Every structure is written in C-alpha cells, then in structure tokens.
C-alpha cells in the first residue's frame, strides 16, 4: 500500500515549522516534527542513554580514519520535518541544511539509530512513525535497538522506498545475536551484546 507524504499545503507546512521554531522547550525534553505533527517528549532514561553512548563510542572506533563520524543531539531535516535521532552517521565536515539552518539534511545521513523508549506512544514513535518518516526521507539504513520487543531485539532496515514510506529489507535478531550493518560507511559494523546488553529477562 502506498503511503502518501503527510506534508500539507506549503502555507500549513510553513506555519507548522514556525510553531516548532517558536517552542520554548525545557531541559530534558525534545520537540520533533514527525509526519506533520509536533511531538514533544521527555528525553530517554539512563539505560537508553548508556546504550546510545555505547553505540556511538563503538561506531567512532569503526569509522576512525574515514570521512564519517557518529553524532548525537543533531537535528536532521527533511522538507518540513525535523528529528533528533539517538545516533546518526554523517560526514565529519557535513554542511548544515541550507533551507532551515537548524541541522543536517536527511539526504546527507546514511545511517540513523534509535534506542526505543518505554511507553506505548514512544514505542510507536520509533517502530512505526519514525520508520515511515525515515523511509520517506530515503535514509539508507535505520537501526532499532528495542528493549521492549520480547527480551530485546535489534532490527536493521535497508532499501528504503520513499514513495511507500517503507523499507524493503528487514533483518531482526534477539539480543545476544550479532547483527552487522550491511552497507554504507558503517558496513560490517557489528551490533552485539557489548552494545545492547544481555536479553532483558536473563539472570
């Protein structure tokens, strides 16, 4: 099934963007525009931050000597959508988005990773809404580290189909099973228990 781009008429998109820019966000919260809606949510728990930090640190070693580096707390912009992924990869000397000047263009981001937050809405945001948004933007690789799927899973999504807001290829494994990023600057990078931790109900 084809999923249409949720962007509305240009004047409404611009009004949404201006409303987002005018928000005064308190420390500890994030505001993103996802599929035509402004979403404000509390930043992750310590366990999520630790996982994201381990992922970033491991990617730094993998990418050492290349033109790419991992980033955190970086806005990614696609048309009138804006996201703050937990971890992303981009060029070391990446240029800012030249339309809004608030972050980096989605077209310059080959990999995005999210550590799924607890709570029904947060889980749906990363598993469903952001999955569609990232595919629609043509992000080549989307990685989901999900404590809340069974005993914990890692999913690597590739081959985005922007017109369908979907990824054509999906590889999902439980925590404790190694999974490698298959393409792009992080090709061959392995996500394993040193990043995810053990399965969540393991003793």
Q: Residue 8: its pLDDT value, please?
A: 61
More confident residue, 202 or 187: 187
More confident residue, 5 or 23: 23
SS (H, E, C) the chain: CCCCCCCCCHHHHHHHHHHHHHCCCCCCEEEEEECCEEEEEECCCHHHHHHHHHHHHHHHHHHCCCCEEEECCCCEEECCEEECCCEEEEECCCCECCCCCCCEEHHHCCEEEEECCCCHHHHHHHHHHHHHHHHHCCCCEEEEEECCCCCCEEEEEEEEEHHHCEEEEEEEEECCCCEECCCCCCCCCEECHHHHCCCCCCC
Residue ranges per structural domain of the chain: 44-196
44-196 CATH: 3.90.1570.10
Give per-residue pLDDT as tens, 142-160: 999 999 999 999 999 999 9
Share of the chain above pLDDT 90, in %: 63
Give per-residue pLDDT as tens, 15-63: 888 888 888 887 778 888 888 888 887 776 788 889 999 999 999 999 9
């Amino acid at each position: 099934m084809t999923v249409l781009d949720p962007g509305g008429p240009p004047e409404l998109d611009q009004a949404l963007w201006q409303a987002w820019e005018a928000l005064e966000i308190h420390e500890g919260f994030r505001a993103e525009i996802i599929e035509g809606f402004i979403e404000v949510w509390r930043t992750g728990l310590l366990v999520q931050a630790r996982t994201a930090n381990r992922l970033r640190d491991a990617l730094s070693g993998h990418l050492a000597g290349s033109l790419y580096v991992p980033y955190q707390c970086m806005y990614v912009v696609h048309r009138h959508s804006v996201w703050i992924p937990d971890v992303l990869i981009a060029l070391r000397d990446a240029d800012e988005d030249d339309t809004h000047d608030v972050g980096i263009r989605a077209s310059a981001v080959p990999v995005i990773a999210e550590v799924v937050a607890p709570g029904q809405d947060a889980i749906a945001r990363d598993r469903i809404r952001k999955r569609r948004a990232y595919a629609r933007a043509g992000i080549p690789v989307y990685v989901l580290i999900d404590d809340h799927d069974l005993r914990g899973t890692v999913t690597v999504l590739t081959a985005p189909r922007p017109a369908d807001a979907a990824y054509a290829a999906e590889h999902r494994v439980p925590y404790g099973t190694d999974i490698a990023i298959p393409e792009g600057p992080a090709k061959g990078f392995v996500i394993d228990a040193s990043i995810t931790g053990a399965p969540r109900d393991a003793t």
